[in-house]
Structure 1
Amino acid sequence: MPLYITSLNSGSNANCYYVGNEQEAVLIDAGLSCRQTEVRMQRLGLSLKNVNAIFISHEHSDHISGLAQLSGKYQIPVYITTQTLRSSRLLPAKFPVRELTAYEPVAIGALRVTAFPKQHDAVDPHSFLVEDDETRVGVFTDIGTACEHVVRHFSQCHAVFLEANYDEDMLANGRYPAFLKQRIRGDFGHLSNQQALALLKEHKPAFMSHVLLSHLSKDNNSPFVARDLFLPHMNETELVIASRFAETPVYTVQASYAADL
């Protein structure tokens, strides 16, 4: 069974990723406003009626700003860890909440979603693997370093949302204060282009069909810099740059087949 994926938005302004099959879908994070989520999905021919769950990676505002309104309006269950919910300061009475636990798969129809820990400066951050019987999609963003959890799951995926937050030279020579530069490049900050490329070169399986570079910094990266760095290493894998301003096309991902929808 194929999976359909799109980035509705990716960046420090808002993050929201869609993964689904013909019948049901999930959102990973809900940083977009409810209205923008509706508009962008409608433009792509996707329906919120098929979204049966929202999974939250961590409590930073660019991942949860639209959550309460979106979940409350459509009564979409939200899977979130207890610590993340507490730190988010969201009011769970406003929307349906389900407890999320690392390495305990959640069945959403024919989909199976597994959360696993990641290194980021949040109280209880997680990445996600979304799969059906054969096809696997990973969401690997807001990661300070590619720990063994990330490496193990990355190597299983047919498609990934992979953070490439900053170019090391652009960050070093940019206008950010020293403490913020250190936070970004630290083990609990974000993946650089170079770190993401190393992960891809060392652990990308031959069957991976799509890489959506995600969470690019507005000030410390460029879509053109990232594309030029990654393209020589993609082979048959399609490279997509997820925008901080708009949705990507919908891509079809399947264990034995991959093409644009």
Structure 2
Amino acid sequence: MPVFIASLNSGSNGNCYYVGNEREAVLIDAGISCRETERRMARLGLSLQKVKAIFISHEHSDHIRGLGVLARKYNIPVYATHSTAGYCGDLPPGLCIGLNAYTPVSIGSLQVSAFPKHHDAVDPHSFLVTDGDIRIGVFTDIGAPCEHLIKHFNQCHAAFLEANYDEAMLEGGRYPYHLKKRIRGGKGHLSNRQALQLFIDHKPHYMSHLLLAHLSKDNNDPELALQLFVQHAGNTHVSVASRYNESEVFTIYPAGAPIAQQVALNQITGQFQFAL
């Protein structure tokens, strides 16, 4: 059974990522409003009724802005570490569930595992979502690649990977020195160069999709980032997750699935519409 993924928004103005199968789904972060989440999922043919959990990577506002309203309205459990949960607003106790690194959480047939990352938050984590033989990574807000990131990226059939800034654009840009230092200081964000090196060195041969995520509005250019990766993509489809609208829904198959089946679906439909 394939897995369906989409970015509902990606950037400092809000982050929210969808991973699901035909029966259930999860959201990673809820950084856009409940109303906008509803609109974007509806446009994609995705059902919020199938969202069984929201996983929170860290407490920054662009990752939790819509969390309270969304969780309450649809009675969706929220998984966050104890430290992060303290910053997630006044959620009913029954909706907030503790999250521990390296301990998988079962959501139907989905298994969601969290692992620590380098970022200037109280207890930040990235996620690997597994369904059978399919593995999806959500890797954003990363100050530097670490052994945990490399290990999990190397397993992914598809991934959302931060490519936040172009180093020359950041250096020559309008940001004050302290903010530039924060972004590139090891607990801020991943540059195009760092993300590309991870991709070149550790991309598994079966990775079918990579979505470049959390691009800076001021210090990056989507076309620049895309072209850097396309040169090294091979059979991996690379796209940019927008800070202004939702991506299409991508269908992810396990390694070894019939290529003809994958190509036919991708070429014929272009943008997937599913009642999921």
TM-score tier after normalising by the smaller chain length: over 0.9
Deviation track 1:36-76 (CA, whole Å, cap 9, x = no partner) reads: 00000000000000000000000000000000000000000
What is aligned with 1:53?
53
Counterparts of 1:155 and 1:94, CA distance in 2: 36
The answer to whether the 8 A contact 2:85-2:96 is kept is: no
The within-5 A match list for 1:1-261 is 1-88=1-88, 90-93=89-92, 96-255=95-254, 256-257=256-257, 258=262, 260=266, 261=272
Counterpart residue identity of residue 54, structure 1: I
Runs of 4+ in structure 1 off by over 4 angstroms are none
Give the TM-score, by structure 2 length.
0.92
Counterparts of 1:117 and 1:248, CA distance in 2: 27
Residue 94 of structure 1, CA deviation: 7.5
Percent sequence identity is 62
Counterparts of 2:56 and 2:96, CA distance in 1: 11
Residue 91 of structure 1, CA deviation: 0.8
Deviation track 1:17-39 (CA, whole Å, cap 9, x = no partner) reads: 00000000000000010000000
Counterparts of 1:50 and 1:220, CA distance in 2: 36
Residue 113 of structure 1, CA deviation: 0.2
Residue 222 of structure 1, CA deviation: 0.5
Runs of 5+ unmatched residues, structure 1: none
Deviation track 1:94-152 (CA, whole Å, cap 9, x = no partner) reads: 87111110000000001000000000000000000001110000000000001000000
Residue 228 of structure 1, CA deviation: 1.5
Residue 159 of structure 1, CA deviation: 0.1
Q: Secondary structure of the equivalent of 1:4?
A: strand
The answer to whether the 8 A contact 1:76-1:95 is kept is: no
The answer to whether the 8 A contact 2:120-2:187 is kept is: yes
Aligned length: 260
Q: Secondary structure of the equivalent of 1:22?
A: coil
Give the TM-score, by structure 1 length.
0.98
Q: Secondary structure of the equivalent of 2:87?
A: helix
Q: Secondary structure of the equivalent of 2:148?
A: helix
Residue 92 of structure 1, CA deviation: 2.3
